Amino acid sequence: MVKVTIDNIEVEVEQGTTILNAARQIGGEVVPPAMCYYSKLPGSGGKCRTCLVEVAAGSSADPRPMPKLVASCSTPVMDGMIVKNKTSDRVHENRGGVVEFLLANHPLDCPVCDQAGECHLQDLGYEHGSQKSRYEEEKRTFEPIDIGDTIKLHMNRCILCYRCVHVADNLTENRVHGVLNRGEQAEISTYIENAIDNDFSGNMIDVCPVGALTDKTFRFKSRVWFLKPMEAERSCNKCSGKAVLWMFGNEIYRVTARKDKYGEVEDIDGKPGWICNDCRFENKEVSKWKILGPRVIDRHSVISQGKYETKIETSTKKIN
Amino acid sequence: MKGRKLLLDKIGISGIETFEIYKKNGGYRSVEKALKSMSPEDVVEEVKKSGLRGRGGAGFPTGMKWSFLAKPEGVPRYLVCNADESEPGTFKDRYLMEHIPHLLIEGMITSSYALGSNLSFIYIRGEFMWILHILEKAIAEAYNNGYLGKNILGSGYDLDLRVMPGGGAYICGEETALLESLEGKRGNPRMKPPFPAVKGLWGCPTVVNNVESIAAVVPIVNDGGDAYAQIGIGKSTGTKLISACGNLARPGVYEIELGLSVEEFIYGDDWCRGIANGKKIKACVPGGSSVPILPHYLITKTASGENRLMSYESLADGGFLSGSMLGSGGFIAFDEDQCIVRNTWNFARFYSHESCGQCSPCREGTGWMEKVLNRLEHGEGNLRDIELLEEINKKIEGNTICPLGDAAAWPVAAAIRHFRDEFEWHVTNREESQTRNYGLCKEPVTA
Amino acid sequence: MKAHIDWSLRHSEKKELSRASLAKIDELITQVPEGKHKTVLMSALHLAQIEFGWISIETMDYIAGLLKIQPIEVYEFATFYTMFHLDPVGKYVFEVCRTGPCMLVGSDDIISYIEEKLNIKVGETTQDGMFTLKTAECLGACGYGPMLQCRHKNHEFLTKQKVDELIEAYRSSKVE
pLDDT score for A296: 84
Confidence band for C4, pLDDT divided at 50, 70 and 90: very low
Q: At a CB cut-off of 8 Å and minimum separation 6, what does C127 contact?
A: none
How far is the C-alpha of C174 from the C-alpha of C176, rounded, in Å? Answer: 7
Q: At a CB cut-off of 8 Å and minimum separation 6, what does B202 contact?
A: B78, B183, C33, C36
> Which ipTM value was assigned to this complex?
0.95
B272 touches chain A (CB under 8 A): no
Q: At a CB cut-off of 8 Å and minimum separation 6, what does B376 contact?
A: B341, B345, B385, B386, B423, B426, B427
**C36, C67, C99 member nearest B350 (Cβ):** C99
Contact yes or no for B245 and C143 at CB 8 A: yes
Query: If you ran DSSP here, which 8-state letter would residue C83 be given?
Result: T
**A140, A143, A180 member nearest C75 (Cβ):** A180
Secondary structure class of B343 (helix, strand, coil) = helix
Contact yes or no for A179 and B191 at CB 8 A: no
Query: Average pLDDT per run of 10 along chain B, which is 447 residues long?
Result: 84 96 98 98 98 95 97 96 97 98 98 98 97 97 98 97 97 98 98 95 98 98 97 96 98 97 97 96 97 97 96 96 96 97 98 97 97 96 96 96 96 97 95 91 73
Contact yes or no for B168 and C138 at CB 8 A: no
- Say if residue A310's pLDDT is above 70: no
Contact yes or no for A97 and B398 at CB 8 A: no
Contact yes or no for B400 and A135 at CB 8 A: no
Per-residue buried b or exposed e for A248-266, using 16+ beta carbons within 10 Å of the residue's own CB = eeeebbbbbbbbeebbbbe
Contact yes or no for A134 and B371 at CB 8 A: no
Q: Could you give phi then psi for residue A14, rounded to 5 degrees?
A: -70, 150
pLDDT score for A302: 58
Q: Which residues pair with A251 in a beta bridge?
A: A248
Contact yes or no for B186 and A185 at CB 8 A: no
Could you name the CATH architecture of A2-91? Roll (3.10)
Per-residue buried b or exposed e for B71-110, using 16+ beta carbons within 10 Å of the residue's own CB = eeeeeebbbbbbbbbbbbbbbbbbbbbbbbbbbbbbbbbb
Whole-prediction pTM: 0.94
Q: Which amino acid is at A238?
A: K
How far is the C-alpha of B72 from the C-alpha of B221, rounded, in Å? Answer: 26
pLDDT tens digits, residue range A139-175? 999 999 998 889 999 999 999 999 999 999 999 888 9
Sorted by where each starts, the structural domains of chain C and their CATH numbers stand as: 7-80 (1.10.10.1590), 92-171 (3.40.30.10)
Is residue B373 within 8 A of residue B422, CB to CB? The reply is no
Q: At a CB cut-off of 8 Å and minimum separation 6, what does A100 contact?
A: A129, A130, A133, A134, A135, B395
User: Which helix or strand (DSSP H or E) is residue B372 part of?
Assistant: helix B360-377
pLDDT score for C3: 38
Most C CBs within 10 Å, among A140, A169, A191, A204, to test the C interface: A191
Most A CBs within 10 Å, among C63, C75, C87, to test the A interface: C75
Contact yes or no for B185 and C77 at CB 8 A: yes
pLDDT score for C138: 97
Is residue B131 within 8 A of residue B168, CB to CB? The reply is no
- All residues of chain A having their beta carbon less than 8 Å from the beta carbon of residue C64 are none
B247 touches chain C (CB under 8 A): yes
Contact yes or no for A192 and C2 at CB 8 A: no
- All residues of chain B having their beta carbon less than 8 Å from the beta carbon of residue A94 are 395, 399
> What are the boundaries of each domain within chain A?
2-91, 105-218, 224-319
Is residue C154 within 8 A of residue C102, CB to CB? The reply is no
Average pLDDT over residues A90-106: 95
Most A CBs within 10 Å, among C7, C73, C79, to test the A interface: C79
pLDDT score for B1: 45
Contact yes or no for B398 and A69 at CB 8 A: yes
pLDDT score for A191: 84
Is residue C134 within 8 A of residue C87, CB to CB? The reply is no
pLDDT score for A309: 43
**A134, A159, A181 member nearest B360 (Cβ):** A159
* Chain-centroid distance, C-alpha B178: 15
- Say if residue C14's pLDDT is above 70: no
How far is the C-alpha of B329 from the C-alpha of B312, rounded, in Å? Answer: 10
Contact yes or no for C138 and B252 at CB 8 A: no
Confidence band for A129, pLDDT divided at 50, 70 and 90: confident
**C84, C103, C137 member nearest B167 (Cβ):** C84
Q: Could you tell me which chain C residue has the CA closest to the CA of B356?
A: C80
- All residues of chain B having their beta carbon less than 8 Å from the beta carbon of residue A52 are 399
- All residues of chain C having their beta carbon less than 8 Å from the beta carbon of residue A189 are 4-5
Contact yes or no for C72 and A176 at CB 8 A: yes
Contact yes or no for A143 and C4 at CB 8 A: yes
| CATH class of the region A105-218 | alpha beta
How far is the C-alpha of A169 from the C-alpha of C75, rounded, in Å? Answer: 16
Query: If you ran DSSP here, which 8-state letter would residue B286 be given?
Result: B
**A52, A134, A159 member nearest B388 (Cβ):** A134
B164 touches chain C (CB under 8 A): yes
Contact yes or no for C32 and B253 at CB 8 A: no
Confidence band for A32, pLDDT divided at 50, 70 and 90: very high
Distances (CA, A) of C9 to A271, C1, C14: 45, 19, 14
| Sequential DSSP letters for C9-78 | G---S--S--HHHHHHHHHHHHTS-TT-GGGGHHHHHHHHHHHHSS--HHHHHHHHHHHT--HHHHHHHH
pLDDT tens digits, residue range A38-67? 999 999 999 999 999 999 999 999 999 999
C87 touches chain A (CB under 8 A): no
- Return the partners of chain C (3 or more C-beta pairs < 8 Å): A, B
C9 touches chain A (CB under 8 A): no
pLDDT tens digits, residue range C20-77? 999 999 999 999 999 999 999 999 999 999 999 999 999 999 999 999 999 999 999 9
Look over chain A and give the mean of its residue pLDDT values, rounded to a whole number.
Answer: 90
Q: At a CB cut-off of 8 Å and minimum separation 6, what does B6 contact?
A: B216, B219, B228, B231, B238, B239, B255
**C36, C101, C152 member nearest B245 (Cβ):** C101
* Chain-centroid distance, C-alpha C19: 22
The whole-angstrom distance between C75's CA and the closest CA on chain B is 10
What residues 377-396 of chain B have any CB closer than 8 A to a CB of chain A?
A: 388, 391, 394-395
**A178, A179, A191 member nearest C5 (Cβ):** A191
